[in-house]
Amino acid sequence: MKISYNWLKDFLKTDKTPEEISTILTDIGLEVESLEYTESIPGGLAGLVIAEVLSCEPHPDADRLKVTTVNKGDDEILQVVCGAPNVAKGQRVVLAGVGTTVHPIEGEPFKIKKSKIRGQVSEGMICAEDEIGLGQSHAGIMVLPDNAPIGKAASEYFELDNDAVFEIGLTPNRADAASHLGVARDIAAFLRADIAMPQVAEVAEGAGPIGVTVEDTTLCPRYSSLTIEGVQVAESPKWLRERLLSIGVRPINNVVDITNYVLHELGQPLHAFDSDKIAGKQVIVKTLPESTPFVTLDEVERKLSARDLMICDAEKALCIAGVFGGLGSGVTETTTSVFLESAYFNAVSVRKTSKFHALKTDASFRFERGTDPDMTVFALKRAAHLIVEVAGGKIEGGVSDLYPSPVAPFNVRVSGDHVRKLIGADISDQDIRSIIESLDIRVVSAEGSTLELEVPPYRVDVTREVDIIEEVLRIYGYNQIEIKQQLKASLNPSPKPDRELVQNQVSDLLIGNGFNEILNNSLTRSSYADKEEELVRILNPLSSDLDTMRQNLLFQGLEAIAYNQKRKMSDLRLFEFGSVYFSTEAGYREEKHLALFMAGNAYAEQWNNKAEKVSFYQLKGLVDGLLSRLNIKGLQVSDAEAGHLAYGLSYHRGAQVFVNFGAVSRKALKTTDVQGEVFYADFNWDLLIKAIRKNKIVYKEVSRFPSVRRDLAILVDRPVGFIALKSLAEKTERKILQSVNVFDVYEGEKIPEGKKSYALSFVFQDEEKTLTDKQIDSVIQKLIVNFEKELKAEIRK
């Protein structure tokens, strides 16, 4: 929100500089995010002074030039060469001395330098109005009246309206400060100064030529209005345009500009209607049927909600109350009669309407946060005074003010002891009361250090004792609270491991392997559920596609893959951290899971690489790497039993499954319209975190002795899996066998029916000595014997 320094000074008589005001505002909770200086003309006439021409003689070497001497109000007399035809002795002129930068209407700014012109020294420039941005004329120099004070700064003489503009980061609870009056109130409270309210029209209450009816007093508790006849709509005067432009508001015409001016001055939104366009000379405040069409000022037809409060006449809607005007009822250059509205609308109603229509305006910004119900008539009279001043006209009738149920102030009790205890400073009862009263909060009664207060309705954020204490602290000054040398605090050790840190580490690992993170809605369709009897159903679903809480991360991940495939992005590696939900007899249960998805080609297409599809083994390698990164070891392995996998593995400890992974079934792929194979891993993240908590970091020296690898090709029955081979190998040799891996599986030509061939690698290492061929051959022979005996395997040569 932008606030003008000059505008603030209309309310507040102070000699504080913009920088000092900026510091005060930040100290009292209205943080100034930036301070910018604005100038009504570029350069602000900086360095230019009023001077007198003492002499004027023809240039000895140039017919069109004059050599002058000028007095600029000090002891130094300057010689200036001037080419203007109207320069003469005795004139009062505008002088730009050496070192001054001038800003012409056209062209770039330039600095005045001491120079020689046709052999004569020139120590400045006598200025024309276009040369310093004051006008368009270049017929000659500016000649000022004879009483223009010599030596006076040109910026002061011409009374330039230079300004400073504060950009305030207004928090949502400070609706009372959403105007120049609101900000001035806080500064006045800090300085213990008085506020000067602006001049308003003298208008009595009474009916005007336009009748008003409020059908819904809940959504519109107060509606004030008046009519001005005989106005002349035109461009706003210079002062009004400059005020609005200084805070970033575009001038439109004098009537509309006055409504915007009063909004930013007093915080009360107004709306001006062309009263000749109000059918039946009646204004009715009411709601309209659902989906009623209405064309707003931006020429967009909108379908109204039955909850939208509307300003209507006897035939049609004129305006969305508190949000946006209609196309056919606004003030134009042909308007001669203005109906002026100043109302207090229900904040919740305006917020819902603004959000429903995606309309954000200066008026809705204030109404939805809460305006001052006691300001409507004052703001109306203020606007009427200004409109009559700048657009002419006469107020017809009086102020119509419909206010059946006045909004009561907030009654709050505050204890001085509580103030001192909470703030931590020894503030006297007298100072507390002084601060409270400076904030326009009335003290109803006092009993000892306890005060009974009435808080005005415009302070929508001050309804409790702690709110009053916060106000006292703001004005007393955060910087005045001493920080004690000794601080007492309790230490709250963070849980180990840090879930966020572990999640970030895993995310980095996955991203480093080419994965992208996705984030899906926790609401999904019930047909995606694993266990229908454990569904968590939504009582008021938005649609049938969002009627339950998800039980897995699979289907929404597949939907993301299908979405990308339809947009020619088929090579995908995705991961998601998310929660799944179950309803059990014991109550609701929530689990955190991590899902991995791989689809398409393993690597990007290149001229020297042929396309290769992702495989189960690439996913397995990634799963193993992730578990290794988390230092989780000793998991049991079995075939996955997850219903959505065509095949895969499960890593578990007893009944606790850490991860299921494998190829997604054709049925699941068809359900989500996914093309090609997808490999999926589902980690129970809560179990992983619990396992990490029990990890012990043990230092182990890197072996000084080399490892040895041996390979075997084994023919087994088709049902025999790698897990069985690996388990038997580890059971046969527990001391020097470090790892068992499969690097090829083959079925087909030259392999008997019902058989398959595994190519296994075995890595051996002794931590104490170098292995010999004899030792390794002995172990390999044991492995072969056990494979043949236990699994009916054949060793292929």
Residues near 222 by beta carbon (within 8 Å), at least 6 away in sequence: 343, 344, 373, 376, 401, 402, 403, 407
Cβ-Cβ contacts under 8 Å for 63 (sequence gap 6 or more): none
B/e letters for 756-785, b = 16+ CB within 10 Å, e = fewer, are bbbebebebbbeeeebeeeebeebbeebbe
**Quick one: CA torsion of 785, 790, 793, 797, rounded to 10 degrees?**
-10
Average the pLDDT over 80-95 and give the result.
94
- CATH homologous superfamily of 211-402 equals Phenylalanyl-trna Synthetase, Chain B, domain 3 (3.50.40.10)
Find the range with the poorest average confidence among 117-121, 690-694, 789-793. 690-694
Spell out the residues 6+ positions from residue 696 whose beta carbon is closer than 8 angstroms to its own: none
- Bridge partners for 382 per DSSP: none
Spatial CB neighbours of 298, under 8 Å, sequence gap ≥ 6? 324
pLDDT at 797 exceeding the cut of 70: no
CA distance 435 to 429: 10
Do 679 and 615 touch, CB atoms closer than 8 A? yes
Instruction: Report CA 407 to chain centroid distance, whole Å.
Output: 33
Token couple for 9: 């000074």
User: Is pLDDT at 3 greater than 90 in this prediction?
Assistant: yes
- Which pair of tokens denotes residue 481? 């609270």
Of 612, 670, 619, 649, the residue nearest 515 (C-alpha): 619
Rounded distance between C-alpha atoms, residue 627 and residue 235, angstroms: 73
Superfamily per CATH, domain 499-693:
Bira Bifunctional Protein; Domain 2 (3.30.930.10)
Q: Which of 5-14, 325-334, 501-510, 690-699 has the lowest mean pLDDT?
A: 690-699
Cβ–Cβ < 8 Å for 157, 105: no
Rounded CA-CA distance 566/650 in Å is 32
Q: Helices 465-476 and 429-438 sit at what angle, rounded to 10 degrees?
A: 90
Q: Which tens digit of pLDDT belongs to each residue from 550-605?
A: 999 999 999 999 999 999 999 999 999 999 999 988 889 999 999 999 999 988 77
Q: How confident is the model at residue 75 (pLDDT cuts 50, 70, 90)?
A: confident
Res 410: pLDDT = 93
> Looking at domain 2-40+162-191, which of 3.30.56.10, 2.40.50.140, 3.30.1330.60, 3.30.70.270 is its CATH number?
3.30.56.10
The residue extents of the domains of the chain are 2-40+162-191, 42-157, 211-402, 410-479, 499-693, 708-796
pLDDT in tens, 596-626: 999 999 887 776 777 789 999 999 999 999 9
How are strands ordered across the β-sheet holding 222-229? 270-274, 337-344, 222-229, 394-402
CATH homologous superfamily of 42-157: Nucleic acid-binding proteins (2.40.50.140)
**Alpha carbon distance 327, 222 (integer Å):** 25
Whole-number Å distance between alpha carbons of 394 and 755? 104
Would you say domain 708-796 falls under CATH 3.30.70.380? yes
Task: Convert the pLDDT of each residue in 252-261 to its tens digit.
Answer: 999 999 999 9
Residue 321 near residue 285 (C-beta atoms within 8 A): yes
pLDDT at 478: 85
Contacts (Cβ under 8 Å, ≥6 apart) of 47: 96, 97, 99, 100, 101
> Tens digit of pLDDT for each residue in 361-418?
999 999 999 999 999 999 999 999 999 999 999 999 999 999 999 999 999 999 999 9
Q: How high is the pLDDT of residue 721?
A: 83
Alpha-carbon distance of 451 to 429, in angstroms, equals 10
213 has pLDDT over 90:
yes
Q: Maximum Cα–Cα distance for the chain, whole Å?
A: 126
For residue 24 the two structure tokens come to: 């005060």
Percent of the chain with pLDDT over 70: 99
d(CA 32, CA 43): 25
pTM over 0.95: no
* pLDDT on residue 600: 92
The crossing angle, in degrees rounded to 10, of helices 499-512 and 616-629 is 140
Structural tokens at position 384: 């009427």
* Token reading at 715: 């023919």
- Rounded to whole angstroms, the Cα distance separating 122 from 112 reads 10
Q: Confirm if 605 and 611 have CB atoms less than 8 A apart.
A: yes
Q: What is the pLDDT of residues 488-503, one digit of tens each?
A: 777 777 777 888 999 9
Could you identify the residue written with the tokens 């395997």?
Answer: 793
Residue range 696-744, pLDDT digits in tens:
767 777 888 899 999 999 999 988 888 888 889 989 988 899 889 888 8
Task: Region of 564 please: left (phi>0), alpha (psi -120 to 50) or beta.
Answer: alpha
Q: What pLDDT shows up at residue 483? A: 77
Q: In the prediction, which pLDDT does 139 show?
A: 84
Give the fold, CATH level 3, of 410-479. Phenylalanyl-tRNA Synthetase; Chain B, domain 1 (3.30.56)
Residue 61 CB contacts under 8 Å (≥ 6 apart), including other chains: 118, 119, 120
Cα dihedral 730→733→735→737 (10° resolution) = -60
CB 305 within 8 A of CB 358: no
171 phi, psi to nearest 5 deg: -80, 155
Average pLDDT taken over every residue of the chain: 91
The number of residues making up the chain comes to: 797
Q: Which helix (H) or strand (E) holds 717?
A: strand 708-717
Q: What's residue 16's pLDDT?
A: 92
> How many Å separate Cα 353 from the centre of its chain?
21
* pLDDT at residue 46 is higher than 90: no
Annotate 519-544 with three-state secondary structure. Answer: CCCCEECHHHCCCHHHCEECCCCCCH
- Would you state the pLDDT for residue 642? 63
The residues, any chain, with a CB within 8 Å of residue 31's CB and separated by 6 or more, are 25, 168, 169
Summarize pLDDT for 6-22 with one digit per residue, the tens. Answer: 999 999 998 899 999 99
What is d(CA 306, CA 289) in angstroms, rounded to the nearest whole number?
Answer: 5
Same fold, 2-40+162-191 and 499-693: no
3-state secondary structure of 334: coil
User: How far from 62 is each of 59, 66, 527, CA to CA, in Å?
Assistant: 5, 8, 97
